[in-house]
């Protein structure tokens, strides 16, 4: 949990630095609108059982693979500008 919170705050700081760089690069000052969204797409994979038969000995072998949990957590950043010229950066 502590790692998740630390990661979230780091990504928030990176996003704010990007916004500052974008606003300084523009010739006309404008307010950048953005939205941060924490998305948790974690899921569980169920256990599977497979059975195979050896054609020479006719022995049946059963293999069980245990289930597991997959963590998929992301921070989505979405920018919203008034017009297209505001979003372009001239180098």
Mean pLDDT per 10-residue section of the chain, whose length is 91 residues: 77 78 61 83 93 90 93 86 51 37
| Predicted pLDDT at 11 | 80
Contacts of residue 38, defined as CB under 8 A and 6 or more positions apart, other chains included, come to: 8, 73, 74, 75, 76
Residues 8, 6: Cα–Cα separation, whole Å: 5
| Predicted pLDDT at 26 | 56
Residues 40, 37: Cα–Cα separation, whole Å: 10
For the beta carbon of residue 75, count every other beta carbon within 10 angstroms: 15
| Predicted pLDDT at 30 | 61
| Predicted pLDDT at 69 | 94
Give me the residues paired with residue 48 across strands.
65
- Alpha carbon 62 to its chain's center: 36
Residues 84, 89: Cα–Cα separation, whole Å: 11
Q: Where are the domains of the chain?
A: 2-85
| Predicted pLDDT at 2 | 72
């Amino acid at each position: 949990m502590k790692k998740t919170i630390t990661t979230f705050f780091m990504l928030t700081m990176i996003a704010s630095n990007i916004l500052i760089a974008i606003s300084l690069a523009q010739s006309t000052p404008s307010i950048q609108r953005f939205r941060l969204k924490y998305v948790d797409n974690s899921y569980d994979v169920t256990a599977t059982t497979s059975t195979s038969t050896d054609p020479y000995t006719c022995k049946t072998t059963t293999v069980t693979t245990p289930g597991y949990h997959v963590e998929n957590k992301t921070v989505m950043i979405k920018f919203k500008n008034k017009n297209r010229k505001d979003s372009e950066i001239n180098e």
